[in-house]
Structure 1
Amino acid sequence: MSTIRITKKFHFETGHALYGYDGKCRNVHGHSYKLSVTVIGTPISNSTNVKYGMVIDFGDLKKIVASEIVDKFDHATVFNKNTPHIELANELEKRGHNIILVDYQPTSEMMLVDFAKKIKNRLPKTIKLHALKLQETGTSHAEWYAEDQY
């Protein structure tokens, strides 16, 4: 049976600030992120299986990515937990805002590292995460590939 890659795309709105950065992105701001998730596997060959012919049901992949990424990050503001923005984060959280504190600088690059871990932990053992692409703006994106990881 052939090995096949499938991709599902997701959209979410997230705010962040880059502590210590020397440009405009040190200020709290947001992006309309587009996340592409590509997995690789062999289509199910058992004709009695309801998922026959699929590497993974797109709906199942959607549930994984929605619960681990989209539902948590959509309309949230992400801060490095070691930032001086912590006071702002705490105040916003007190006022009912969705705040995510992470142990990394919330760049697209580092968000992809985080997302890859979360998605890989939820995939069936027969499916491998192949690639992630996180588009931050219309002209800028970061990519993560399994083959590049050592």
Structure 2
Amino acid sequence: MSTKKCWRLTVRDEFSSGHALRHYEGKCENLHGHNFGVELTVQGEELLPDTELLLDFKVLKQALKQTLEALDHRVLNETPPFDRINPSSENLARHIWRQVEARLASSPDPQAQKVRLVSVAVSEKGRQTATYMEWDA
């Protein structure tokens, strides 16, 4: 029996935005703001031979930071794609996943193309978290 091994890297960042949840029927249907926390995790099976790193943290942090810049200090309901879809934490997590995935795939760092996203979690106030993941069925 063979044992599979991998490493996981996690980075965290935050952004501040306002949103109003459509069709919510409660206070959150009104415009309000959050300091959203974001946690991004990737994994891979191969360390670089010279540095023994899976991926330089700065590459991962940059991909996340560039994604969050488009959301920071915005009214999400007026910011694509949330001008069409509900700016829920669930949809934010999926949006961030897709943006970071594309940034890693097009990164000039070949190691960035070897890692796989595991999860993106978005939290409001640090008490509630919505996590998005994808996996092969």
TM, length-normalised to structure 2: 0.83
Q: How does 1:40-119 map to 2 (within 5 A)?
A: 40-47=43-50, 52-68=51-67, 70-79=68-77, 99-102=78-81, 103-119=84-100
Aligned position for 1:19: 22
Give, as a single letter, the amino acid of the residue that structure 2 aligns with 1:37: L
Aligned counterparts of 2:12 and 2:65: Cα–Cα separation in 1:
11
Post-superposition, which runs of at least 4 consecutive aligned residues in structure 1 deviate over 6 A?
A: none
In structure 2, distance between residues paired with 1:11 and 1:145: 19
Conserved? CA contact 1:2–1:43, under 8 Å: no
Q: Please say if residues 48 and 54 of structure 2, whose CA atoms lie closer than 8 Å, have aligned partners that are also in contact.
A: no
Aligned partner of 2:107 in structure 1 is: none
Other-structure match for 1:84: none
For 1:69-116, what per-residue CA distance to the aligned partner results, in whole angstroms no more than 9, with x for missing partners? x2111111111xxxxxxxxxxxxxxxxxxx413231000001111111
Question: Residue 7 of structure 1 contacts residue 38 of structure 1 at CA under 8 Å; is this kept in 2?
Answer: yes
Kept in 2, the 8 Å contact 1:133–1:142? The answer is yes
* In 1: Cα distance, 2:121 partner to 2:48 partner: 29
Q: Does 1:140 align with 2:95?
A: no
Gaps of 5+ in 2: 105-111
Identity of aligned residues (%): 26
Equivalent in the alignment of 1:32: 35
TM-score (normalised: structure 1): 0.76
Q: Is residue 16–residue 33 contact of structure 2 (8 Å, CA) maintained in 1?
A: yes
Q: Does 1:128 align with 2:131?
A: no
The answer to whether structure 1 residue 5 and structure 2 residue 8 are counterparts is yes
Unaligned runs of 5+ in 1: 80-98
Q: How many residues align?
A: 125
SS of corresponding position for 1:101: coil
